[in-house]
Every structure is written in structure tokens, then in C-alpha cells.
Amino acid sequence: MDVDLHGLFKNNKTFDYDDDYVYTDEDSQPCQSCGFVTVFIPLLYSVGLLWGLLGNGLVLLTLWSKRRKLSVMDIFILHLGIADVLLMLTLPLWAVDAVRGWIMGTGSCKLAGALFKINLYCCIFILALIGLERYLSSVRGVEMFSRNHPSAVHLSCVIVWFISLLLSIPDWIYLEAIMNETTPEKWQCDHVYPNNGMRISIRLLLFVVGVILPALMLLFCSILPYVQSRTSGSQKKKDIRTCVFVALGLACILGWTPYNVAFVVDTLSTSTASKWCEGKRWTAVDATAVLGLLHCVAKPVIYLCFSKEFQRRAMSMVKLKCFDEDSNEVSLWDCGEGSGCAGVQQEEQSSLHPINDINQTPKTQDQNV
């Protein structure tokens, strides 16, 4: 009996799965926000680079104009500005990385990653030094640094730089430009440790020594003077140095805390799975690192908002005006008036006159007797 299949197998063709079939997984699908990332992040870095270099450059030029008469606070801010400018110079590399991956090679990967960590350590260590100096002078009555001996302040900052450089050694050793696991044409700048145990131990040690210990000292030196003044009932007027110190501390905390939290979570995570975005990994560590890279932008704004003397000198620098030698004696952070600290000095002198009159009164009485 003949069976009519109506041409079922008449036009039968073979299908080559190797050439035409592509398996797609949900985790490997390109994320819809990647176009936003590749446009927004480079734009954000470009604006941050422009403002960061202009703002921090103006700070450095202003301090350089009075380099022979720098106060203790001036020296600390000078070193903070140098660290911020070095970090700002790496923003073009991170902008390219957000768009095309790390195509700059292993050398630039080590340099950019090390400067990122050096800025983190310098920021928190120098703020801890400022807090310790403020604590000893206000609570203990001990002068840790003196304007007459600026070399001691510079030496302390050099030690901070040296410690930060030591803590960045793992970045110089283990950072490499490696090929992306999902798309071989993409590269990324990441650490390559010999094993997972060494990875966890090194990262936790650096976190404790470079972040936790100076942060505890910073909090101790910031909170204890406030608590002591509240318990003793003394209401001391806050000077500009204290306000700038608190504002810088808040900027450091807001800029680096999200990254540090994501860094610890990523270190302790046992999952090796990661989300990939068009061949570029965009994890919580990468996202929070943006705040760390851009926190330097806020510091010039803090200086402009709290110091009238810095505003005056900065505007004069922009207008290419010169300063008198006497104006270099004025610290940028000791008073808020545009004329410098002359008003404060006059108030201090006037407050001494009644005491002198009291001391002279008994002498005149004795002479009359």
C-alpha cells in the first residue's frame, strides 16, 4: 500500500547547529542600562576632571603663593591637594575603561589602581593627623605641631605618603590587564592573586590597617572634644579650622564608605558568579568607586564656603593680582573675615586692657599711701 505524505520529506534539509544556533543565557544578556553607563560615566568623569583640576589647582596655587608662611593646616591641605590632583589625572583612564574596557595595558592598570588606593589612605591618614592635632591642642593643651617648625608637619605628611605607598604594594604586584571571561575582545583591570586564601587575607589586612585604624582615631579625636565640651558646659566658638576639618571628614566618609563596604562584601563573598554588561563587569565595587574617584571635587567647594581669606586670595589669583608680604602671615583657616585675622587680634588685645588696669590699680594706691 502506498502512503502519500504530501511532500513531508520532499524538501528536507539538514540544519547546522554549529554555525546558525547560538545559545543565550539570561545572565549573559547585555544589560539595558549599559548604554546609560557608557555615556553617563565618561561624561561625569569629564566634568569631574575639569572642575577637580581647576579647583584643586587653584588651592595649590594659593598655598604656593604663601609657601614661606604656611600654617599647620595649610601644610595638611597642601598634601591633600597633591593627592587629589594625582587621582584626578587617572580619570581619563577610567572613562575609557567604562566605554571600551581596559585597553591601556598592565602598566597603566597598576598605576591607576595604586593611585586610587594611595588617595584613599592619604585622605584618611592626614585627616586623622588633623584630628589628633586638634584633640591635643583643645583637650590636652599640648602643641603637637608649630607654625615655626613646618618641617615637622611636612615630615609627618611624608611618613603618611610612605605608609600609603607601602599599603599599595599589592596593587603594584597583583593588578593586571586581563581578558574578559565573557567577551574575549574586552579587557579589564583587576587583581590576579595566586589563590583565594591569599586574596582574602591581603585585602582584609589592608582594610584593617589602612582604613579601620585611622578611621577609629579620626572618630575618637572628633567626638571626644565635643563630648567633653558638652559635659563641662563650656561653649567654645568653633573656628574655621574645626569647620573645615569636619566638612573634609564628612566628604571623606561619604565618598569612601560605600566603596569600603562593597569592597569588604566582595572580599568575603564566596560566589564566583558575576554580572557582565556588554563584556564589561559593572559590580557594586565598580559603581561605588565612582564616588571615591569624584570625592576630590567637593574639597575646593568646602574651602570656598568656609574660608573668606581663601575666597579673597583665590579671586585675586584669578584676576592675576599680587599680594603683600604681610598678607602671607594670615592663615587661610584661622578667621573668616576678608581682611584676615586683624579683627580677631584687635579683640584679643582689647580684652587684655581691663586686666592690665586691674594690675596697675594697687600700684598707684601704694604710691599714694
Domain range list for the chain: 32-321
pLDDT of residue 346: 39
Q: What are phi and psi of 281, to 5 degrees?
A: -70, 130
Q: In the structure, what pLDDT confidence band is assigned to residue 227 with cuts at 50, 70 and 90?
A: low
- The average pLDDT across 135-139 equals 79
Residue type, 290: V
Condensed to tens digits (0 to 9), the pLDDT of residues 160-178 reads 999 999 999 999 999 998 8
238 DSSP assignment:
P
pLDDT of 119 over the 90 cut: yes
- The average pLDDT across 9-27 equals 49
Of 76, 240, 218, 219, which Cα lies nearest the Cα of 145?
76
Q: H helices of the chain, where?
A: 17-20, 34-65, 72-88, 91-100, 106-135, 150-167, 169-174, 196-207, 213-232, 240-268, 284-294, 298-306, 308-318, 342-368
Q: What CATH homologous superfamily does 32-321 map to? A: Rhodopsin 7-helix transmembrane proteins (1.20.1070.10)
pLDDT of 321 over the 90 cut: no
pLDDT of residue 322: 65
pTM, to two decimals: 0.77
Q: Which of 124-133, 140-149, 225-234, 279-288 has the lowest mean pLDDT?
A: 225-234
pLDDT of residue 347: 37
Place of cell 599640648: 142
Compute the residue count for the chain: 369
CA distance linking residue 187 with residue 189, whole number of Å:
7
User: Distances in Å between the alpha carbon of 288 and those of 163, 260, 262?
Assistant: 24, 9, 7
pLDDT of residue 25: 46
Mean pLDDT of the chain: 76
Of 202, 198, 196, 194, which Cα lies nearest the Cα of 176?
194
pLDDT of residue 185: 62
State the Cα angle at 137 between 136 and 138, rounded to 5°: 100
- The average pLDDT across 22-48 equals 67
pLDDT of 85 over the 90 cut: yes
State the Cα angle at 162 between 333 and 265, rounded to 5°: 90
pLDDT of residue 160: 96
- The average pLDDT across 133-160 equals 84
Calculate the dihedral angle through the C-alpha atoms of 2, 5, 8, 10, rounding to the nearest 10 degrees: 40
pLDDT of 312 over the 60 cut: yes
Q: Which of 49-53, 81-85, 91-95, 284-288 has the lowest mean pLDDT?
A: 284-288
Tell which wins on pLDDT, 140 or 234. 140
Q: Which of 100-114, 154-168, 325-339 has the lowest mean pLDDT?
A: 325-339
